[in-house]
Structure 1
Amino acid sequence: MKNRIMLAALLLSSLPALADGNAQAGAQKAASCQGCHGAEGKAAVALYPNLAGQNAGYLEHALHAYKQGDRSNGQAEVMKAFVAGLSDEDMADLAAYYAGLKP
């Protein structure tokens, strides 16, 4: 049982490393995100979520949902405009970048 818990903890702790995207490329692509989400993924205004340290799969899924119009929170239209020109690779790269930042 102890070995299973240790294995699960190890797998969960390495989630950012398992992201499909390229974090270095994501860092280059994150310039337009910084106005709301901060230079290090930590928003200066409570209206915007912190992205640093979030699960890469969740971030990538959220970006796709915004692009497809499947999210309807207060910032959905703003986010939809920002992600409209992003490719699947761009979204994976951004997700990997933000997942790898210290929360």
Structure 2
Amino acid sequence: MRRWGGPVAAAMLLLAGGAVAQEAAGDPLAGRRLAGARCAVCHGNDGIAQQPDAPNLAGQSVLYTVAQLRHFRSGERNHEQMNILARDLTDAQIADLAAWYAAIQVEATVPGR
């Protein structure tokens, strides 16, 4: 395994931080409104799935949610319902949805503790 150090590592962190800041620029309240209108039937009002085949979105990382919605929108990732729902989402709406789901705090309990 190779370790990066010095200026290369600093540059990579700055670039990654810029990407996170850019993606995190969504408005969680706008995302909440949009999620209530488009996503809640399957993913729940609070991001906890209502359908057995839908994933929970509460607490999901902004970067992951943005990437997946863009993949659904472009058709790179296939799911009949999601491709239709994501097709007309703008980048701003995707950022808003991602900000909303990332803002929901989820608590995990490890068994046996």
If the length of structure 2 is used for normalisation, what is the TM-score?
0.70
Partner residue of 1:94 out of 94, 97, 100: 97
1:60 aligns with 2:66: yes
CA distance in structure 2 between the partners assigned to 1:61 and 1:44 by the alignment: 22
Q: Which moved more, 1:87-96 or 1:77-86?
A: 77-86
Structure 1 unaligned spans of 5+: 1-14
- Deviation at residue 84 of structure 1 after TM alignment: 1.2
CA distance in structure 2 between the partners assigned to 1:35 and 1:101 by the alignment: 17
CA distance in structure 2 between the partners assigned to 1:45 and 1:24 by the alignment: 24
Structure 2 unaligned spans of 5+: 1-19, 107-113
- Deviation at residue 39 of structure 1 after TM alignment: 0.9
- Deviation at residue 91 of structure 1 after TM alignment: 0.3
1:45 aligns with 2:48: no
Structure number, greater radius of gyration: 2
Report Cα offsets for 1:72-96 as digits up to 9, x if no partner.
3xxx121010011110000000000
If the length of structure 1 is used for normalisation, what is the TM-score?
0.76
**3-state DSSP of counterpart to 2:39:** helix
- Larger RCO (alpha carbons 8 Å, 6+ apart): 1
4+ long deviations beyond 4 Å: none
- Counterpart residue identity of residue 83, structure 1: A
Report Cα offsets for 1:21-80 as digits up to 9, x if no partner.
1111111111210000001000123210000000011001100000001113xxx12101
Q: State the number of aligned residues.
A: 84
Match of 2:26 in 1: 21
CA distance in structure 1 between the partners assigned to 2:51 and 2:33 by the alignment: 23
**3-state DSSP of counterpart to 1:50:** coil
Question: How high is the sequence identity, in percent, across the aligned residues?
Answer: 38
